Structure 1
Amino acid sequence: MRVAAGEAKGKRLRVPRGVAARPTQDRVREAIFNALADRVVDADVLDLFAGVGTLGIEALSRGARRSVFVELDPRAAAGLRANLHAAGFTGRAEVWRADALRALRRLEQRGDRFHLIFLDPPYRSGWLQRALRALAHSPVLRDDGLVVAEGARGEPVAVEGLEVTWQRTYGDTTVAFLRRAKGGSGEGRGVPGDL
């Protein structure tokens, strides 16, 4: 698997042995970034359930200002750090080895706001819905921000507070872009404790 375009085009991204990661397929990643177009340039990016960093590293390569990567699995996080080093992006990235919802709370406390948030949790684990519900109420997603959610074909992405603006299916994978619903704002809210 390689970075498809931009500054690190052609750099190989590796998945360490024993990591149960399911990196975004090349054609799906290409479709996502073609649809995002220039929205990536100068964006602050959050890559939740980052695995080995495929989506966030592609965003950095295509001109994102910075990316925070959140991955709970220690082996995947180590592979992510190695991939960032190989691509030359360690200075524009943070890697947090943490649970996604706890990380969102910490990011809120720090005052972080993101233009793009990538979600690629394990398929059919329930994490996609939990993370989307949390983001619908979190100021971490800028009011003009976009969530890029990847899940299994047929896995629901609709949640109150976010609206789907683009959705495509590629084989067994569905990708959706979501933004805050009209009139919705994450300002003054936070990730509910019971999600």
Structure 2
Amino acid sequence: MRIIAGQYARRNLFTLKSNLTRPTGDKVKESLFNSLGQFFDGGQVLDLYAGSGALGIEAVSRGMDKAYLVDIAAGAIEIIKKNVALTKETDKFTVIKRPDTVALQQLVQQSCQFNLVFLDPPYAKQKISQIITKMLDLDLLAPGALVVAETDEQTELMTVPGTSLQKTLNYGHTTIRIYQREQ
């Protein structure tokens, strides 16, 4: 797995050698970022179930100002830190080892508001709609923010009031839905 484009392009990333994470493959990641507009003009990104941190790092590589990379697994946090070190710009990243809802509360206390959010929880623990609702309730999503939710092809998601489904992308057994916070 590698960083596809931007200032960190072609750097190989570390991944966790276990079943605890399910990294988004390079082809899916490239297609996803192409559909998001490829490059960004600043803003903050949250990767709530970061695994290796690849999506948040890719977003910063493509122009986001700062990424918050959250995971609960100690092994994943170590891999994320190694991958952030590869960028040589560690000040653009905040790594948080917390459960999702605890991390969201911490981010509220830090007055964070995100322009882009990646939600790719382990398939067995799907709770994407509830997390989007919580982020809206906590005002963590900037007006017009995009929320990218990755699931298996069998998982159905409800659209959360306050958001609209912009795109659905299918890649084999992976489905990606892009929601936008209504303004």
TM category (shorter chain) comes to: over 0.9
Distance 1:177 1:39 in 2: 16
Distance 1:46 1:115 in 2: 8
Q: Is the 8 A contact 1:136 1:160 kept in 2?
A: no
Q: Is the 8 A contact 2:164 2:180 kept in 1?
A: yes
Does 2:118 align with 1:118?
A: yes
Equivalence for 1:64? 64
Number of equivalenced pairs: 182
Equivalence for 2:25? 25
Deviation, structure 1 residue 88 = 2.1
Deviation, structure 1 residue 38 = 5.5
Deviation, structure 1 residue 19 = 5.8
Distance 1:142 1:54 in 2: 22
Choose 158-167 or 142-151, whichever is displaced more. 158-167
Structure 1 spans left out of the alignment, 5+ residues:
183-195
Equivalent residues in 2 for 1:45-194, closer than 5 Å: 45-157=45-157, 158-181=159-182
Q: Is the 8 A contact 1:19 1:76 kept in 2?
A: no
Distance 1:124 1:107 in 2: 25
Work out the percentage of aligned pairs sharing the same amino acid. 32
Aligned residue for 2:178, secondary structure, equals strand
Aligned residue for 1:15, secondary structure, equals coil
Deviation, structure 1 residue 169 = 0.9
**Counterpart code for 2:129:** Q
Q: Deviations over 1:44-72 (max 9, x none)?
A: 11110011101001011111100011110
**Counterpart code for 2:43:** A
Deviation, structure 1 residue 93 = 0.3
Does 2:7 align with 1:7?
A: yes
- TM-score for the superposition, normalised by structure 2: 0.92
**Counterpart code for 1:178:** Y
**Counterpart code for 1:67:** A
Deviation, structure 1 residue 9 = 0.7
Q: Deviations over 1:153-182 (max 9, x none)?
A: 131232233211111111111111112246
Choose 148-157 or 162-171, whichever is displaced more. 148-157
Distance 2:27 2:164 in 1: 25
19 and 154 in structure 1: CA distance in 2 versus 1, 3 angstrom threshold: closer
Distance 1:61 1:41 in 2: 11
Deviation, structure 1 residue 39 = 5.9
Q: CA RMSD in A?
A: 1.6
**Counterpart code for 2:130:** R
Aligned residue for 1:40, secondary structure, equals coil
**Counterpart code for 1:180:** R
Q: Is the 8 A contact 1:124 1:155 kept in 2?
A: no
- TM-score for the superposition, normalised by structure 1: 0.87
Q: Is the 8 A contact 1:70 1:96 kept in 2?
A: yes
Q: Is the 8 A contact 2:123 2:151 kept in 1?
A: yes
Structure 2 spans left out of the alignment, 5+ residues:
none
Deviation, structure 1 residue 43 = 1.9
